Amino acid sequence: SQKIEQNSEALNIQEGKTATLTCNYTNYSPAYLQWYRQDPGRGPVFLLLIRENEKEKRKERLKVTFDTTLKQSLFHITASQPADSATYLCALPTGTASKLTFGTGTRLQVTL
């Protein structure tokens, strides 16, 4: 089965800097990958989907890359703000249809 690895340690960065979060997977390369944001005590919120033939995807201050050779996706937040503090989850389709497998997530803390 697909194993997803996200850095379990929190990432602490200063406001205005670029945050980079990593999602590594171990088995077959999926056709696409999704990123979600989760705030404490809330459900995840979809942010971006990137397909295997898209090297990069952008949405406002967010950028996602997908390297099927390295089996890795990077999630960047530029000009980070304290409001960006949350846990960020990557998810890959595994098995049948729309079954998603989620990583454990990386907690981002942006300080002033």
**Would you tell me which residues interact with other proteins (CB under 8 A)?**
4, 8, 32, 34, 41-46, 49, 51, 89, 93, 96-105
CB of 3 to other proteins, least distance (A): 10
Q: How far is the CB of 108 from other proteins (least distance, A)?
A: 17
What is the smallest separation between the CB atom of 18 and other proteins, expressed in angstroms?
Answer: 24
Question: CA-based diameter of the chain, in Å?
Answer: 44
Closer Cβ to other proteins, 74 or 102, answer by number:
102
Q: Please state the three-class secondary structure of 29-60 as a single string.
A: CCCEEEEEEECCCCCCEEEEEEECCCCEEEEC
The answer to whether residues 21 and 108 touch, using CB atoms and an 8 Å cutoff, is yes
**Cβ-based nearer residue to other proteins, 34 or 80:** 34
| Rounded distance between C-alpha atoms, residue 26 and residue 17, angstroms | 30
